[in-house]
Amino acid sequence: MSLPSNGAPGPDRVRLPRARRTRRKRVVAMCAVSLACWASVVSAQTAELAQGKRLFESQCGSCHGPLGNGGKGANLAQPRLRRATDDEALSNIIRRGISGTEMPGSPLTPSQVSSIAAYVKTLGRVAPEDVPGNPQRGKAVYAGLDCARCHTLRGRGGIVGPELDDIGARRSAAHLREALLAPEASVPSGFLQLRVVTRDGRTFTGIRVNEDGFSVQFRDLSGRLHSFWKDELDVIEQLWQRSPMTSYDTRLSVEQTDDLVAYLVALKGAPEE
């Protein structure tokens, strides 16, 4: 037993063997290194997500929405993305775009692409949109308005307007509502209405299908395709931001609009039950 300096009995002092003291120090040192590495990784991931968020908001948010829940671009606030099935596919889409769609490629660096991809993957945790309305009643509204005259759905309908099979996966509820109430505020990119007048006085209006330096092809509102050499025409007027669809602002009640939007949001490309 050891004695304190005043001579009174004191507690036992057990001195650990040198090997055990060395092992303890090594364990403590390893834990400290592990914690430092973990903190460094977390800090790097946080910085990457912050950069991805900034880039997304500046480069992508105008089409995909600030929360990624869709606009003119696809709804990305989903647990699984149909086209970006893995990290590599997601990065390729960001870098190269999607041919034949409104999704362009980008000149971003690999680091920037990686940070945007990392941020996009977090959007699946965003709470889904609160969409009022009844999809089944909306289906009846869709039929009553004869939307199939212009739009194709499950292989049936017109081809003047955009196909709607997966419109709910590509557009947010807010964007679809705007398209119904103010069509000319949300005309799809590349959707150009033309007015042409032939040299013999005939006038046509339709949606451009193709145009080059010598000819133009367009589809009128009945779906009929027209093709002219440009030297056959007196007038070719490009009606940018004009939509052949009329506003339903005064034609539908608030409840009917809610129901129709709910029906369109439910169209995600899956077979109808």
Q: What is the pLDDT tens value at each position of the chain, 273 positions in all? A: 454 555 555 555 556 566 666 666 665 556 555 555 444 444 556 777 888 888 888 888 878 877 787 777 777 877 778 778 888 888 888 888 888 777 888 888 988 888 888 888 888 776 667 789 999 999 999 999 999 999 999 999 988 888 899 888 888 888 899 999 999 887 877 788 999 999 999 999 999 999 999 999 999 988 899 999 999 999 999 998 888 888 999 999 999 999 999 999 999 876 554
- Count the Cβ atoms, other than its own, within 10 Å of residue 135: 18
Q: Cα–Cα distance between 177 and 32 in angstroms, integer?
A: 55
**Looking at the chain, how many residues does it have?**
273
CA distances to 82, 133, 135, 178, 240 from 248, rounded to whole Å, are: 31, 16, 18, 10, 20
* End-to-end alpha carbon distance in the chain: 85
- Count the Cβ atoms, other than its own, within 10 Å of residue 183: 19
Helix, strand or coil for residue 13? coil
- SS3 of the chain: helix, strand, coil, percent, to 5: 45, 15, 45
49 and 57 Cβ atoms separated by less than 8 Å: no
Look at the pTM and tell me if it is higher than 0.85.
no
The pLDDT of residue 121 = 85
Sorted by sequence, the CB contacts under 8 Å of residue 230 that are 6+ apart come out as 213, 214, 215, 216, 236
Domains, the chain: 21-128 (1.10.760.10), 135-187+246-265 (1.10.760.10), 193-239 (2.30.30.100)
Q: Cα–Cα distance between 168 and 141 in angstroms, integer?
A: 17
